Structure formats: structure tokens, C-alpha cells
Chain A
Amino acid sequence: DTAVSQTPKYLVTQMGNDKSIKCEQNLGHDTMYWYKQDSKKFLKIMFSYNNKELIINETVPNRFSPKSPDKAHLNLHINSLELGDSAVYFCASSIGYGEQFFGPGTRLTVL
């Protein structure tokens, strides 16, 4: 009965690899987000999807690509991973621009 779930919880990989993080919400929300939280706890929005359309893209490198197969899922695919991509990635969902519910986070470590 988890509201917003992410997999995997931890991801350790080498530079140059391609990886994906999955997110699912069972709240019936129409908007989903991806955030990056750096080591200083600063939260930066990366993407949001509303009804399967990308409505925000915060100058994120094009190595990052969100994919939303349906309203309940928003996956994040990262190509050619770099050291600076190491962070915690949070998925969230909301109804419109209301309260956001966050997933447990995925800690990505690039070696």
C-alpha cells in the first residue's frame, strides 16, 4: 500500500554506464516529478510530467531522460553516467500544483 515507490533504493555503478530508476504512485495523482538532492541536501527539480506530457525541464543535461508509460509511472533513464551524477534522486507526485508526496529516494553512487 506504498503511495510512491522507487526502485532501486541503492545503485552503485561505473562511470559511462547507462542506468534507470523506476517510480510508481498509486495515489491517482496526475503530476509526477523527479528531484536531485546533492550532498548539501539542496533539492533541485529535474522534470515533471502532467498527463503524460513534460511540462518542466530545468536545464538538465540531455543524458537524463524521463519516460512515462502511463499516469502512474515516471521512470528516469541516465546515459553515460558521470561522477557528478552521484546524489539521491527522489520521485514525487501531486494533483496539479498541490501537496507533493515523495518516494523513499534512490541513492546513486557513480565510481
Chain B
Amino acid sequence: AQSVSQHNHHVILSEAASLELGCNYSYGGTVNLFWYVQYPGQHLQLLLKYFSGDPLVKGIKGFEAEFIKSKFSFNLRKPSVQWSDTAEYFCAVSPRDYGQNFVFGPGTRLSVLP
């Protein structure tokens, strides 16, 4: 069965700092990759997704992620964070094989200090 790991449980940054959140997955087949964000008290919203093509994908709110197939990684980046980016971030993997689970990572809490 596939699994998803996220490198950091809690990241604390000051405004304008650069962000990189790590995500690795274990699955040998072809996958779709996602990053979701959950603002305090809210539901999950899609930040960006990768299905195929250019491994550097851009999402909403200035976020981007790079798929490195050889490393089974899909790290999330933002050059300059804002206080409003304070949230929980989830990496997710969806294998394209029928019947395989859609799996979320454990999440990384990002706290941005004003």
C-alpha cells in the first residue's frame, strides 16, 4: 500500500520568509499529486495538482511545487509567506490504478509570525 510522509510537523516562519514543505510518497506506479490547504476552522482547499507534463506546477496564492520522480517527492514552495498563509498543509497522492486509495500525508502546520 502506498504511503505519504511530510517532513515537518510544525514550521514557524516570519513574514516574507521563504517556504519549502517536503512531501515524499511510496508507490511504484503512476500517480496524481496534490497539495491541499486547510485554514483554521475551514475545510480543505486545493492549492495545486500534478497529473503529467511540466514537473514544476504553479498553484493559487503564489504557491508552486516540483515533482521529482526519481526522489518520489513533491515539495511545496513559496518565495515569500504572509501571515494569512498560516494553516495546515496536506500532501496527497492518488495512484492511477483502479481501486487504489487516495492517501493524505499527516499534514504540516505552518505558523507565520507577523
Report which A residues bind B (CB closer than 8 A): 33, 41-43, 45, 48, 55-56, 58, 90, 92, 94, 97-105
Which size bracket describes the interface of B in this complex? Answer: 20 to 34
Report which B residues bind A (CB closer than 8 A): 32, 34, 36, 38, 42-46, 49, 51, 88, 90, 92, 94-96, 99-104, 106-107, 109
CB-CB under 8 A from A105, the residues of chain B are: 43
A102 touches B44 (CB 8 A): yes
In the complex where A42-B106, A56-B101 touch, is A99 in contact with B43 (Cβ < 8 A)? no
B102 touches A41 (CB 8 A): no
B contacts with A: majority SS? strand
**What is the number of contacts between chain A and chain B, taking CB atoms within 8 Å?**
51
20 contacting pairs across A/B (C-beta < 8 A): A41-B38, A41-B106, A43-B104, A45-B102, A45-B103, A45-B104, A48-B102, A56-B99, A97-B32, A97-B94, A97-B95, A99-B34, A99-B46, A100-B34, A100-B44, A100-B46, A102-B36, A102-B45, A103-B43, A104-B43
